Amino acid sequence: MALRELYPPIEPHATGMLDVGDGQQLYWEESGNPDGKPVVFLHGGPGGGTSPNQRQFFDPQAYRIVLFDQRGCGRSLPHVADGADLSVNTTDHLIADIERLQVFLGVERWMVFGGSWGSTLALAYAQRHPGRVTELVLRGIFLLRRSEIDWYYNGGAGQVFPEAWEGFCAPLAAAEPGEHPVDTYHRLLHSHDPRVALDAAVAWSTWEGATSTLLPHPERVAETAESRFALAFARIENHYFHHRGFLDEGQLLRDIDVMQDIPGVIVQGRYDVVCPARSAWDLHRAWPSSRLIVVDDAGHSAHEPGIAHHLLEATDGFR
């Protein structure tokens, strides 16, 4: 079977900055068919921001494609690298921002597409506003349970990527006895010494860049080492994980009943080290109206060939 490729690149036909309060302005854009089926793309991280190729997961003749940068990253203002206030950056704030954007754009209901942290936020949003969601297309499931944080940041994934793990562990020489690596990084990322903070940010960010694909992609690791990206990505992501996503332990499975009528597709890489397949399995078992597709030759990235293929099949299927 020939694998599907992304739709050709397109440019947005509308862009803007939405004031959501708290001194925050969100970059948003629309592309595709202005009269098409609305879909919102929730990017990963948190703190990853959007990129033009994310428009290409959707048929531009069929979909009204909405992308936006979550608080503090991408083209949203203020940027965390410039000192944005993280106290107003929580899961509840992001859910409220999605709702504000939906109202601003005049969308009553839309499909929600998200991977990794985007899957976390998509589930939290759908459980808060189930009547607003027509379908969910999710990839690389992350339920933000303590076991998932421990796997990735406390040694489990390091068994698979020992050389990258060594780089992640280098700043942990500053750890206090018994301190969780996420908490050590929290101190370092907010150090008054800019060099300490930047070194920690690059180590945190490149750990994810190095482990997100089945096969090595040095250019992706280089992108995650860029200082402005790394500072925003690491500080925002670590802020959420330090605070356990501002969710109760197991909350996204506990509250799954409210979204049982929402159809969904889950695409999961078998060898996803960032978000292991157990979480996708647990979500699918708790959400019978979902369809789980495990891609046996893929890791975490949405751009793994098999994952991209099945994401395109899913969005075409919901046209």
200 touches 170 (CB < 8 A): no
- Phi/psi for 21 (5° steps) reads 85, 175
Residue that is written with structure tokens 């339920």 in the block: 143
CA 42 to chain centre: 7
Residues 70 and 27: their CA atoms lie apart, in Å, by: 8
List residues with catalytic annotation. 116, 272, 300
What is the dihedral angle through the alpha carbons of 275, 51, 75, 240, rounded to the nearest 10 degrees? Answer: 0
137 touches 264 (CB < 8 A): yes
Question: Which among 285, 13, 268 has a CA at the least distance from the CA of 142?
Answer: 268
Residues 113 and 267: their CA atoms lie apart, in Å, by: 11
